[in-house]
């Protein structure tokens, strides 16, 4: 018999409780069990309760999957069992219904192109279309006319407090950039996104939460598929000959003997620099994913750069003043919607914040294994002392040991605190209170070639020379001002002394005249 084990979470992200409420509310709720109290000794005693819980769990999961399967089949004539992940399902729908390869040919990058462009992939404008062309020197080209990926040394004015680029700051000067340039075309995702967005609005109006949920997850799952990393991990059972071959791979991770002629090995694929073992996914087109994230940063920058911006994350922003009404809408694609009105909040780091809403609810966000340990009070204490760290015990569930292929729970000690200094530096007032942050100056020439480094070094010397000349001119100008002031003072002093002498002479003369003979 053939058994297939599939992870439903890859197709329907979310908790089973929430999925059941959205897709099949008629089947009831999941219920709960105190998992911490379940052990070998309690299995017999709680047998009936646990079996009933498992039956409900299986019933709800089956109902959720069947409902989703029906929806996808009715909409797109696609069986979700034929796909392993939601992103691959979204890609299939996009290719079948919305994509025209004659209008917008998508180029699958080779290893050199992928490695170069992927450095720019950190989050709808025109998209990079067709096969890229490599330019070793873009010095004389108009940057406004380009669409592509440029590797350059960026000189940023220190007056820019909120940098535009995710790693370096807003561009000031480009020095002999190199890069891949593409043909500029209208986004191939326009119809896909607008169609699903409109369908989702209709589903919400009709009160169809299940359909609305399907449209939402499809819309959000497509673009990341194009940015899929070619580097992947493969674990396989093999014979001794295959085992000895894999051990010599550059991407070898580990291996072990299972029996006399059976071995288990794990290794990374697509790791070599020579391109001989380059075999990426057939739809890995990182230029599209990188262009989308870059366009998102461009779109959000007017909001992020505001003086009253407290926090931002991809498609959201926290401001102290409201936006104009014409920028707010929950039914127009690309507009912002008012999520919350905040009475008090602490925004300490990316995905680490807590705030109280005008309605009286509390919202907190913290990324990490100890997220259940943080409280609004913890954020307030952390704000008062940013370097503060607390050691807490965390139950790490379902830890995978790839060598033994065992899954286990493990209690670990975690240092709960903030990761400082990765993107911005804290600014303190005279009382050592944390009041602001400032950008980190990056001096990284690791990705540029020898000639570019020589050029940058030469220009740096030239800049330094010009700076010295400017300072010398200022010094000479200051010296001239001082000399002028000194001269004026001397003249004024001379006049004063002369006046005093004249007055003394007058007084002496007058006194002499008043003396009796």
Residue 36 lies in a domain: yes
CA atoms within 13 A on the CB side of 286: 22
Asked if 311 and 353 count as a contact pair (C-beta separation under 8 A), the reply is yes
pLDDT at residue 446 is higher than 90: no
Check residues 497 and 270 and name the one with the higher pLDDT.
270
What's the rounded Cα separation, in Å, for the pair 498 and 512? 21
**Predicted local distance difference test score (pLDDT) of residue 174:** 42
Please indicate, yes or no, if residue 62 is contained in any of the structural domains. Answer: yes
* Residue 107 within a domain: yes
Judgement on whether residues 365 and 310 belong to the same structural domain of the protein = no
Residue 242: band (very low, low, confident or very high) from pLDDT cuts 50, 70, 90: very high
Q: What is the pLDDT of residue 169?
A: 37
According to the model, what pLDDT value does residue 171 have? 41
Residue 274 has pLDDT above 60, yes or no: no
Residues 213 and 317 in one domain: yes
Of 418, 441, 464, the domain-final residue: 441
Look at residue 12 in the predicted model and tell me its pLDDT.
87
One domain for residues 427 and 466: no
The three-state DSSP-derived secondary structure of 56-83 is: HHHHHHHHHHHHHHHHHHHHHCCCHHHC
Q: Are residue 194 and residue 293 in the same domain, yes or no?
A: yes
pLDDT at 439: 76
Across 362-370, average pLDDT: 89
Q: 305 and 385 in one domain?
A: no
Indicate if 77 and 125 belong to the same structural domain: no
Domain annotation covers residue 510: no
pLDDT of 357 above 90: yes
Domain membership flag for residue 54: yes
Q: 150: which strand partners? A: 179
pLDDT tens, residue by residue, 79-98? 988 888 889 899 999 999 99
d(CA 57, CA 63): 10
Task: Judge if 403 and 327 occupy the same domain.
Answer: no
Lowest mean pLDDT across 5-14, 116-125, 361-370, 470-479: 116-125
C-alpha–C-alpha distance, residues 396 and 121, integer Å: 31
Average predicted confidence (pLDDT) for the chain: 82
Give me the pLDDT at residue 424, please: 74
Do 183 and 115 share a domain, yes or no? yes
How far is Cα 350 from Cα 310, in angstroms, rounded to an integer? 11
Both 110 and 190 in a single domain? yes
**Looking at 296, 317, 336, which one is the last position of a domain?**
336
pLDDT of residue 338: 92
- Of 87-101, 163-177, 276-290, 458-472, the least confident: 163-177
Q: How far apart are CA 33 and CA 36, in angstroms?
A: 9
Q: What is the mean pLDDT of residues 466-480?
A: 77
Can you give the pLDDT at residue 362?
94
Q: Determine, yes or no, domain membership for 509.
A: no
Q: How confident is the model at residue 56 (pLDDT cuts 50, 70, 90)?
A: very high
Q: 172: pLDDT confidence band, cut at 50, 70 and 90?
A: very low
pLDDT tier at 442 (50, 70, 90 boundaries)? low
Whether 71 and 5 map to the same domain: the answer is yes
Q: What is the pLDDT of residues 306-331, one digit of tens each?
A: 989 999 887 899 999 999 999 999 88
Domain boundary among 413, 441, 469: 441
Query: Are 408 and 284 found together in one domain?
Result: no
In a domain, 241, yes or no: no
Helices then strands, counting H and E runs in the chain, come out as: 12, 17
pLDDT(270) > 50: yes
- Longest alpha-carbon distance in the chain: 148
Q: What pLDDT, on the 0 to 100 scale, is given for residue 173?
A: 42
Q: Which residues contact 127 (CB under 8 A, 6 or more apart)?
A: 104, 185, 186, 187, 188, 189, 288, 291, 292
| Tally of residues, the chain | 517
404 with 424, same domain: the answer is: yes
Q: What is the C-alpha separation between 90 and 87, in angstroms, rounded?
A: 5
> What phi and psi, each to the nearest 5 degrees, are found at residue 17?
-60, -50
Q: What is the pLDDT of residue 406?
A: 79
Lowest mean pLDDT among 14-18, 125-129, 183-187, 463-467: 463-467
Assign 345 to helix, strand or coil. Answer: strand
**Percentage of the chain with pLDDT > 70?**
83
What is the mean pLDDT of the segment spanning 180-196? 90
Quick one: pLDDT at residue 517? 43
Task: Determine, yes or no, domain membership for 251.
Answer: no
Q: Please state the domain count of the chain.
A: 4
Task: Tell me which residue range forms the domain holding 472.
Answer: 445-477
pLDDT digits (tens, 9 = 90+) for 301-311: 899 889 899 99
């Amino acid at each position: 018999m053939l058994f297939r084990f599939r992870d439903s979470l890859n197709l329907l992200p979310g908790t089973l409780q929430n999925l059941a409420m959205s897709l099949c509310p008629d089947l009831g709720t999941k219920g709960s069990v105190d998992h911490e109290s379940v052990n070998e000794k309690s299995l017999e005693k709680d047998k009936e309760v646990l079996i009933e819980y498992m039956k409900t769990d299986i019933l709800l999961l089956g109902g959720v999957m069947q409902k989703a399967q029906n929806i996808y089949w009715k909409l797109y004539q696609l069986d979700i069992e034929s796909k392993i992940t939601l992103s691959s399902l979204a890609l299939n729908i996009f290719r079948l219904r919305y994509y025209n390869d004659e209008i917008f040919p998508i180029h699958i990058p080779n290893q050199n192109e992928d490695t170069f462009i992927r450095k720019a992939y950190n989050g709808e404008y025109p998209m990079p279309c067709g096969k890229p062309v490599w330019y070793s020197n873009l010095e004389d080209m108009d940057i406004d006319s380009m669409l592509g990926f440029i590797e350059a040394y960026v000189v940023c004015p220190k007056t820019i407090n909120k940098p535009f680029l995710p790693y370096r700051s807003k561009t000031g000067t480009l020095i002999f950039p190199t890069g891949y340039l593409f043909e500029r075309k209208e986004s191939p995702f326009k119809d896909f996104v607008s169609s699903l967005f409109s369908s989702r609005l209709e589903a919400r109006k009709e009160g169809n939460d299940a359909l609305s949920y399907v449209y939402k997850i499809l819309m959000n799952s497509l673009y990341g598929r194009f940015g899929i990393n070619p580097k992947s991990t493969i674990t396989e059972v093999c014979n001794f000959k295959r085992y000895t071959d894999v051990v010599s791979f550059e991407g070898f991770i580990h291996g072990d003997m299972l029996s006399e002629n059976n071995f288990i090995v794990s290794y990374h694929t697509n790791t070599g620099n020579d391109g001989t073992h380059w075999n990426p996914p057939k739809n890995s087109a990182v230029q599209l994913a990188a262009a989308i994230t870059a366009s998102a940063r461009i779109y959000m920058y007017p909001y992020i750069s505001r003086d009253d911006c407290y926090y931002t994350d991809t498609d959201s922003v926290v401001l102290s003043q409201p936006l104009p009404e014409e920028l707010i809408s929950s039914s127009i694609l690309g507009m912002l919607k008012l999520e919350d009105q905040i009475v008090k909040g602490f925004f300490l780091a990316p995905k680490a914040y807590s705030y109280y809403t005008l309605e009286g609810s509390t919202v907190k966000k913290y990324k990490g294994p100890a997220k259940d340990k943080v409280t609004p009070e913890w954020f307030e204490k952390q704000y008062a002392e940013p370097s503060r760290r607390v050691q807490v015990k965390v139950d790490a569930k379902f830890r995978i040991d790839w060598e033994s292929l065992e899954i286990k729970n493990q209690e670990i000690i975690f240092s709960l605190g903030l990761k400082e200094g990765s993107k911005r530096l804290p600014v303190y007032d005279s009382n050592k209170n944390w009041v602001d942050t400032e950008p980190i100056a990056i001096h990284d020439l690791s990705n540029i070639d020898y000639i570019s480094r020589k050029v940058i070094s030469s220009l740096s010397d030239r800049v330094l020379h010009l700076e010295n000349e400017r300072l010398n001119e200022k010094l000479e100008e200051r010296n001239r001002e001082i000399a002028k002031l000194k001269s004026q003072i001397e003249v004024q002093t001379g006049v004063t002394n002369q006046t005093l002498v004249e007055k003394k002479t007058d007084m002496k003369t007058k006194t002499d005249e008043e003396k009796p003979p």
